[in-house]
Amino acid sequence: MCGIVGMVSFRSGGINVERLTKARDLLSERGPDDVGIWTEGQTGLAHRRLSVIDVTAEGHQPMASHSGRFVIVYNGEIYNFQEIRAALEAESVVSWTGGSDTEVLLEAYKRWGVECLNHLRGMFSFAVWDRQEKSLFAARDRMGEKPFYYHYDDCVFAFASRSRAIYELLPGLSRDINMQGLRYYIEIGYFPAPLTIYNEIRKLQQAHYLIVNNDGITIKRYYDLRQTVPDKKLERAKEGDLLDELDETLLRAVKLQMISDVPLGAFLSGGIDSSLVVALMRKLSTSGVKTFTIGFKEAQYDESAHALRVSRHLETDHHQHTMSVDDLLTLIPRFREVFDKPFFDYSALPSMAVSELARGFVTVALTGDGGDELFGGYHYYVLLKRLDALFKIPSAFRKIPSTALSFLPSHKLKLLSQMLTKSDPVSAFAFTRSIIKDFSAIMLNDLTSHTEGIAEGFLTAAREFPKSLSATEMAMRLDTLFTLPDDYLQKVDVSSMAYSLEARAPLLDPGVVSFAMRLPETWKVRGLTNKYLLRKLAYRYIPREILDRPKQGFSAPVAIWLRGGLKEWAMERFNDKESLRALYLNHTEIIKLYDSHLSGSRNAASILWAVAVLVDFYRRDHLR
């Protein structure tokens, strides 16, 4: 796991090595073990290394091929690099310098070019400079675990693991706000790739590569899960056979991701996903497994008792730190530092806390990320399944239950009423996923009239799906393409790398993803039971009475903080009329919304926190 940064200029003048060095060192937490820099003419590549595979100097980057033609900077892990190495050796004689996956990746690109991406099982973002063709090739992993930000104009291409490094490279680059990205953020809390908060910076989308040379830039998708059709024959498969296949597929993924030359452990919440990953690690390990949990003194936020029961059953070397939820407030300055653009997901705070705990014992931690999106874990998948039939009847007939629900006192039922007014299942899903819900008045007309809402964005993406998909299957696929990479995986990447910890997600292995995409909905959401097949597999390893409990997940009491410990901080930002106007936000409506939150008549914590973080970012980034 590392930090990468680089630049290619197609105009006269060389690389400013001082700026490149400073940009590289802005990524120091991503790679504390080694530094490197390579420049030639108008090209410069730099690297910060967290040593995990081949911790010797033979893994140093930037790394040149044996011929000297290609130079690579790379962030991530290729878990099957030993298999690829053997395949390369079978084709011809290869002279290896060391045992790193970086050298294998470089040789694979040299041999197969773009096709090398079809051989990789891992998480990665990397760039290879071809000194002969004067061309840069860059790629990002299939699921979007590792970040790749870039700027391109007719003369300059710059890239980095974080956008702040690009601004260090190009200090004159505009910081103008991207209105479409801003609209999406306000509605859903993150910036769907390729958009960012800035006009001048983009994110390379998951499963895409790009090529830049003097003729311009080309961006293409190399892997596409959008058109995968669930295998209807599997609806009649025997449950035991499917469980055996899933067990074998997951076991292989976990085994691959346990390859490490440094200490390794796992996050353990006590939920289905992380517990199953730890169980498989325990099955494969001969020396035990270290597990890590953050506990809270307040029972309503605490998962540590569940995690401890799982740990005792699996006999792991368990490490737990118990804190008050208010102790998380001490992490906010660090949160503001490492998330260098607005980031709404406040579960990043406990994610940072558990990463800090784990880094005291290990360098690598496996997680359960991806299980919900691939196997049907979220409650609204069950809701959409139950409501799917309603969206097949004319909207006029849906007005009757919608109107009835709107008169009930429960705010959740009122939101359900609004959901039923949507014209199609994708728009209904967008409403459930939205953090703005019925607070759209906080956006000024200048923003809404020049941009599209997230529902339109999701509808555009859904047009690429098979027509046969159910509402629930479409929702899972949209989460996999949007929420997973641009919210959850970004949260894990930044939170863990803030403490120089590498986080790995076995459930996102290509074999597991392929199995999940082929699996019909009935094996994911059945009745009121979510994550049906994955849950049944977990029962093979851990008793049902230990695992079965309401889904909780990492979170933080932001609703309470906004009425207490963060009230002064939030109010200062909500009253910054100049910044709000620059962000196309309505000061009067935000204050009205905050007053209703303070009174307890509405819980608007998500959108209020998102706005406060946005204003905080803008003040630091634009009003310096």
- Between CA 502 and CA 492 the distance in angstroms is 9
Dump pLDDT digits (tens) for 471-503: 999 999 999 999 999 999 999 999 999 999 999
The secondary structure of 312-358 as a DSSP string is HHHT-EEEEEEE-GGGGGGGHHHHHHH--S----TTHHHHHHHHHHH
- Residue 292 in any domain: the answer is yes
User: Among 616, 583, 619, 597, which Cα is nearest to 186's?
Assistant: 583
Same domain? For 214 and 263 the reply is: no
* Token pair recorded at residue 228: 């995968």
Whether the per-residue pLDDT at 514 is higher than 80: the answer is yes
Dist CA 531 CA 533 (whole Å): 6
Orientation angle between helical segments 272-284 and 304-314, nearest 10 degrees: 20
HSE (CB half, 13 Å, CA atoms) of 350? Answer: 28
* pLDDT, tens digit (0-9, with 9 covering 90-100), for 527-538: 889 999 999 999
Q: Which of 2, 63, 258, 512 is catalytic?
A: 2
Q: Note whether 362 and 497 are same-domain residues.
A: yes
Q: Output phi, psi for 465, to 5 deg.
A: -85, 160
pLDDT for residue 1: 65
Both structure tokens of 195: 């958009």
Q: How confident is the model at residue 174 (pLDDT cuts 50, 70, 90)?
A: very high
pLDDT above 60 (res 407): no
Q: What is the pLDDT of residue 403?
A: 62
Which pair of structure tokens corresponds to residue 145? 């675990």
Q: How far is it, in rounded angstroms, from Cα 253 to Cα 273?
A: 14
What is the separation of C-alpha 181 from the centre of its chain, rounded to a whole number of angstroms? 17
Please enumerate in sequence order all residues whose Cβ is within 8 A of that of 85, keeping only pairs 6 or more positions apart, or say none: 94, 96, 104, 107
Any domain includes 490: yes
The predicted pLDDT at position 71 comes to 98
What would the pLDDT profile of 338-362 be if each residue is shown by its tens digit?
A: 998 999 999 999 999 999 999 999 9
* Residue 550 reports pLDDT greater than 90: no
Look at residue 305 and tell me whether its pLDDT is greater than 60.
yes
Asked whether residue 305 falls in the same domain as residue 266, the answer is yes
Dist. CA 553–CA 466, nearest whole Å? 31
Q: In this model, does residue 553 exceed pLDDT 60?
A: no
Tokens (6 digits) for 257: 């991701």
Co-location of 265 and 203 in the same domain: no
Burial class (CB in 10 A: 0-12, 13-18, 19+), 360: exposed
Q: Is the residue at 295 inside a domain?
A: yes
Q: What is the C-alpha separation between 285 and 276, in angstroms, rounded?
A: 14
Do both 238 and 336 map to the same domain?
A: yes
Q: Which residue has the higher pLDDT, 624 or 124?
A: 124
- Residues 73, 150, single domain; the answer is yes
Average pLDDT of the segment spanning 23-49: 94
Residues 162 and 281 in one domain: no
Please say which residue of 547, 565, 600 terminates a domain: 547
Model pLDDT for residues 229-273, shown as the tens digit of each residue: 999 999 999 999 999 999 999 999 999 999 988 899 999 998 999
Q: In what order do the strands lie in the sheet with 502-504?
A: 317-323, 290-296, 264-267, 364-366, 502-504
Cβ within 8 Å of residue 340, ≥6 positions away: 162, 163, 164
Q: What is the pLDDT of residues 217-231, one digit of tens each?
A: 999 999 999 889 999
Residues 491 and 580 in one domain: no
What is the rounded distance in angstroms from the CA atom of residue 280 to the CA atom of residue 364? 16
Look-up of token digits 């007014």: 421
pLDDT bin (cut points 50, 70, 90) of residue 307 is very high
Q: Which residue has the tokens 């699921």?
A: 143
Q: Give a yes or no: residue 460 inside a domain.
A: no
Model pLDDT, residue 297: 85
pLDDT digits (tens, 9 = 90+) for 98-135: 989 999 999 999 999 999 999 999 999 999 999 999 99
Residue 94 has a pLDDT of 82
Q: What is the pLDDT of residue 368?
A: 96
**Do 64 and 167 fall within a single domain?**
yes
Task: Note the pLDDT of residue 602.
Answer: 85
- How far is 531 from 493, CA to CA, in rounded Å? 25
Query: What's the CA gap between 478 and 380, in Å, rounded?
Result: 13
Last residue of a domain, one of 188, 221, 254: 221
463 within domain boundaries: no
Burial level of 10, CB count in 10 A (0-12/13-18/19+)?
middle
Which residue from 152, 96, 99, 104 is spatially nearest to 126, judged by alpha carbons? 104
Q: What is the CATH number of the domain that holds 67?
A: 3.60.20.10
Whether 156 shows a pLDDT value over 90: the answer reads yes
Q: Angle 69-71-72 (CA atoms, 0-180°, nearest 5)?
A: 145
Question: 369-404: per-residue pLDDT in tens?
Answer: 999 999 999 988 988 888 877 777 766 666 666 666
- Tokens 């996102």 found at: 508
Same domain, 127 and 216: yes
Is position 429 within any domain?
A: no
Length of the chain: 624
pLDDT 10s digits, 410-468: 656 566 667 777 778 899 899 999 999 889 999 999 999 999 999 999 999 999 999 99
Please give the C-alpha separations between residue 339 and each of 164, 335, 487, 496, 502, in angstroms, as whole numbers: 10, 6, 12, 12, 17
320-330, pLDDT tens digit by residue?
999 888 888 89
Residues 244 and 340 in one domain: yes
Say if residues 504 and 124 touch (Cβ distance below 8 Å). no
Report the candidate in 496, 508, 525, 606 with the shortest Cα–Cα distance to residue 559: 606
pLDDT at 548: 86
Q: In whole angstroms, give the CA distance from residue 95 to residue 517.
A: 39
Last residue of a domain, one of 520, 547, 574: 547
* Rounded CA Rg of the chain: 24
pLDDT for residue 472: 94
Question: What is the C-alpha to C-alpha distance for residues 277 and 254, in angstroms, rounded to an integer?
Answer: 7
Whether 43 is in a domain gets the answer: yes
Would residue 155 show up in a list of annotated catalytic residues for this protein? Answer: no
Question: Residue 73's pLDDT band (boundaries 50, 70, 90)?
Answer: very high
Instruction: Please indicate, yes or no, if residue 540 is contained in any of the structural domains.
Output: yes
CA nearest neighbour of 123 among 484, 372, 374, 475 = 484
Q: Does residue 24 surpass a pLDDT of 70?
A: yes
Q: Residue 527: which CATH number?
A: 3.40.50.620
Domain count, the chain: 3
Residues 176 and 263 in one domain: no
- Return d(Cα 478, Cα 329) in angstroms, integer: 32
Indicate if the pLDDT at residue 186 is higher than 80: yes
DSSP 390: G
Q: Is 244 helix (H, G, I), strand (E, B) or coil?
A: helix
Q: What is the pTM of this model?
A: 0.94
Alpha helices in 548-586, H assignment, sequence order = 558-561, 567-574, 577-582
What pLDDT, on a 0 to 100 scale, did the predictor assign at position 109?
97
pLDDT in tens, 11-23: 877 899 999 999 9
pLDDT of residue 286: 86
User: Is 70 exceeded by the pLDDT of residue 624?
Assistant: no
Domain hosting residue 96, numbered range? 2-221
